[in-house]
Amino acid sequence: MNMTANYHTHTYLCHHATGTQRDYIERAIEAGWKTIGFSDHVPMPFPDGHQTRYRVRLEDLRYYMWILENLREEYKDRIEILIGFEAEYYPSCFENMLRVLEPYAYDYLILGQHYVREESEGIYSSDPTDDPEILHRYVETTLEGLSTGKYTYFAHPDIINYTPNDDIYKKEMTYLCEECKKMDIPLEINILGLEPRRAYPSERFFKIAAEVGNSFVLGVDAHQLKAVGNMETLAMAENFAARLGITPLKTVKIRNPKG
Ligand SMILES: [Zn+2]
Ligand SMILES: [Zn+2]
């Protein structure tokens, strides 16, 4: 089965991915995609001026939008191009982040919570932990973010790497999934995590989500051109979903954060 829409694509502008916007678009057309959504790491205007290494820089935001708007026009008869961002929900910074984006005609945000609660606290979500408090704060923070109604879907919801396979994990994640279901937020099966294998996508997480009956979407999370149209990893993702009885959506409903 082929993929026709992917909403999770990075570019060289975030300083840890390679490939230009045009390269990804050309490759997506070759792969038969009907929609490519760019979701580079959002510039985050931290109050203390902190700069994250892995983000689009604030001063590059205008260019990110400009080049994608131009390419969207140039390629409009060949592929749908959506302009988005992968954004954490950091309570102290969220309103400022929206303000920075406000002048631009972007289409969507996806939630990717790389740090628990606040980046300044320095707890990286995918670092292994056996602390139930960290798990709880992750769940609480992401739900708070999603409840703003600004996010189209939840990228790698299972990035939190709580290691004990216990009732606490089950309880917290069941709650997370139930709330996402109420808000009709699709959960992403992150293909980047499959090869080389990361701790996510996590079978125990998606087993819970499948029981809750969430909606799902595959996300390539492309950081390299070769990730686009990679049939091997796509097959791995489809097998992963099929094993759990999950049928991912082909397209998702875009929620425009500007309403
Ligand atoms: Zn991410
Ligand atoms: Zn990503």
For 230-239, write each residue's pLDDT tens digit: 999 999 999 9
Give the distance (Å) from ligand 2 centre to CA of residue 76: 24
d(CA 74, CA 77): 8
Pick the ligand that lies closest to the CA of residue 56.
Answer: 2
The pLDDT value recorded for residue 259 is 74
Give the distance (Å) from ligand 2 centre to CA of residue 24: 14
In this prediction, residues 203-225 reach a mean pLDDT of 98
Average pLDDT, the chain: 96
Q: Which band of pLDDT confidence, cut at 50, 70 and 90, is reported for residue 258?
A: confident
Classified as helix, coil or strand, 157 is helix
The pLDDT value recorded for residue 40 is 98
Classified as helix, coil or strand, 134 is helix
Phi, psi of 133 (to 5 degrees): -65, -40
**With contact defined as beta carbons under 8 Å apart, do 7 and 191 qualify?**
no
The overall pTM is greater than 0.85? yes
Give the distance (Å) from ligand 2 centre to CA of residue 22: 18
Give the distance (Å) from ligand 2 centre to CA of residue 221: 5
In this prediction, residues 56-63 reach a mean pLDDT of 96
Phi, psi of 40 (to 5 degrees): -70, 160
**With contact defined as beta carbons under 8 Å apart, do 107 and 83 qualify?**
yes
Q: Which band of pLDDT confidence, cut at 50, 70 and 90, is reported for residue 2?
A: confident
The pLDDT value recorded for residue 199 is 93
d(CA 223, CA 144): 28
Answer left, alpha or beta for residue 150, where phi above 0 means left and psi between -120 and 50 means alpha. Answer: alpha
Give the distance (Å) from ligand 2 centre to CA of residue 106: 17
Give the distance (Å) from ligand 2 centre to CA of residue 141: 18
Give the distance (Å) from ligand 2 centre to CA of residue 187: 14
Pick the ligand that lies closest to the CA of residue 9.
Answer: 2
> What's the token pair of residue 164?
């004990």
Contacts of 26 (CB under 8 A, 6+ apart): none
Contacts of 206 (CB under 8 A, 6+ apart): 158, 187, 189, 216, 240, 241, 244, 246
According to DSSP, the residues that pair with 187 across neighbouring strands are 154, 216
In this prediction, residues 137-154 reach a mean pLDDT of 98
pLDDT at residue 160 is higher than 90: yes
Peptide bond into 128 cis (omega under 30): no
In this prediction, residues 223-246 reach a mean pLDDT of 97
Class of residue 1 by CB neighbours under 10 A (exposed 0-12, middle 13-18, buried 19+):
exposed
In this prediction, residues 154-180 reach a mean pLDDT of 98
In this prediction, residues 89-102 reach a mean pLDDT of 97
The pLDDT value recorded for residue 71 is 98
- 5-243 falls under which CATH superfamily? Metal-dependent hydrolases (3.20.20.140)
Indicate the domain borders of the chain: 5-243
pLDDT at residue 211 is higher than 90: yes
The pLDDT value recorded for residue 1 is 64
Tens digit of pLDDT for each residue in 108-128?
999 999 999 999 999 999 999
Give the distance (Å) from ligand 1 centre to CA of residue 112: 5
Q: What angle do CA 206, 125, 53 make, to 5 degrees?
A: 130
Give the distance (Å) from ligand 1 centre to CA of residue 10: 10
Pick the ligand that lies closest to the CA of residue 154.
Answer: 1
The pLDDT value recorded for residue 47 is 87
pLDDT at residue 49 is higher than 90: no
Q: What is the DSSP string of 66-95?
A: HHHHHHHHHTTTT-EEEEEEEE---TTTHH
Q: In what order do the strands lie in the sheet with 5-6?
A: 5-6, 35-41, 80-87, 108-111, 151-154, 187-190, 216-219
